[in-house]
Amino acid sequence: MKKKITKWYMEKNEHDDVIVSCRVRLARNLSGYNFGRLLSNEDAGKLVDSVRSFKGEIEGREDKPYYSCALNNLGMREKQVLLETHAISPDIFTKEQPTGLILSEDESVSIMINGRDHIRIAAVTTGSNMKKVASVANRIDDMMDRRFKYAYGEKYGYLTSSLADVGTGLKASYMLFLPALTTGGKLSSIETELARFGLMIKGVYGDGNKSPGYLHRLFNRRTIGLTESDIYESLEVIVSQIADLEKKTRREWYERNRSDIEDKVFRSYGVLKYARSLELKDAMTLLSQIELGRFLGIIEPASARFDIHRLMIEIQPAMLAASFTGEDTEIAMEKIRAAYIRKKLPKIITEKED
Amino acid sequence: MICDICRKNKATIIYTEVINGEKNQTCLCDECAVSMNLQGLGKNNKSDTPMGSILSGILSSYMERYIENKTSDNSSKAVCPTCGMSFSTFMRERLLGCPDCYSTFSVVIEKQLKSVQPGTSHVGKVPVNATVYELKKVEPGPEKVLKTQNGNTAPSSKTKSAGKTTDIGELRLQIKEAVQKEDFMLAAKLRDRIKELENTEKDKGPDVKKSKKSAKKPKNK
Q: Which of A142, A159, A281 to mutate to test the interface with B (most CBs of B within 10 A)?
A: A159
For the domain A8-249, what is the CATH code?
3.30.590.10
% of residues, chain A, pLDDT over 90 = 65
Helix residue ranges, H only, A8-156: 41-52, 54-62, 76-84, 90-93, 130-147
Give the pLDDT mean for A17-22: 91
The H helix count followed by the E strand count for chain A is 13, 12
The 8 Å CB, 24+ separation contacts for B197-202 are: B197/B166, B197/B168, B197/B171, B198/B168, B201/B168
CB B77 within 8 A of CB B193: no
Chain B residues with CB inside 8 Å of A157's CB?
121-122, 124-125
CB contact under 8 A, A183 and B30: yes
d(CA A213, CA A202): 13
Q: What is the pLDDT of residues A77-91, one digit of tens each?
A: 899 999 998 889 888
Chain A residues with CB inside 8 Å of B148's CB?
none
Nearest residue, CB atoms, B34 vs list A156, A166, A185: A185
What burial class does residue A47 get, using C-beta atoms within 10 Å of its C-beta: 0-12 exposed, 13-18 middle, 19+ buried? Answer: buried
Question: Quick check: helix, strand or coil at residue A115?
Answer: coil
Instruction: Please state, in angstroms and as integers, the Cα–Cα distance from residue B144 to each residue in A35, A162, A186, B75, B137, following that order.
Output: 15, 20, 49, 17, 12
Helix residue ranges, H only, A85-203: 90-93, 130-147, 179-183, 187-196
Nearest residue, CB atoms, B121 vs list A29, A152, A155: A155
Nearest CA in chain A to B154: A154
CB B75 within 8 A of CB B81: no
Q: Where in chain A is the domain with CATH 3.30.590.10?
A: 8-249
Nearest residue, CB atoms, B132 vs list A32, A154, A222: A154
pLDDT at A290 over 80: yes
Task: Please tell me which residue, B36 or A65, carries the higher pLDDT value.
Answer: A65
Q: What is the pLDDT of residues A186-208, one digit of tens each?
A: 888 898 889 888 899 998 887 65
Chain B residues with CB inside 8 Å of A171's CB?
none
> Which phi and psi angles does B23 have, rounded to 5°?
-90, 140
d(CA A295, CA A297): 5
Q: What is the pLDDT of residues B67-117, one digit of tens each?
A: 555 444 544 567 888 888 888 888 888 889 999 999 888 888 888 888 878
Whole-structure pTM value? 0.71
pLDDT at A209 over 80: no
* DSSP β-bridge partners for residue A124: A23
Nearest residue, CB atoms, B95 vs list A151, A161, A167: A161
Task: Write the Ramachandran bin of A206: left for phi over 0, alpha for psi from -120 to 50, otherwise beta.
Answer: left
CB A59 within 8 A of CB A36: no
Instruction: Please report the ipTM that was assigned to this predicted complex.
Output: 0.79
Strands A19-28 and A119-126 come out as antiparallel
pLDDT of res. A15: 45
Confidence of residue A221 (pLDDT cuts 50, 70, 90): very high
Q: What is the pLDDT of residues A89-147, one digit of tens each?
A: 888 998 889 999 999 999 999 999 999 999 999 999 988 889 999 999 999 999 999 99
Strands A66-70 and A100-104 come out as antiparallel
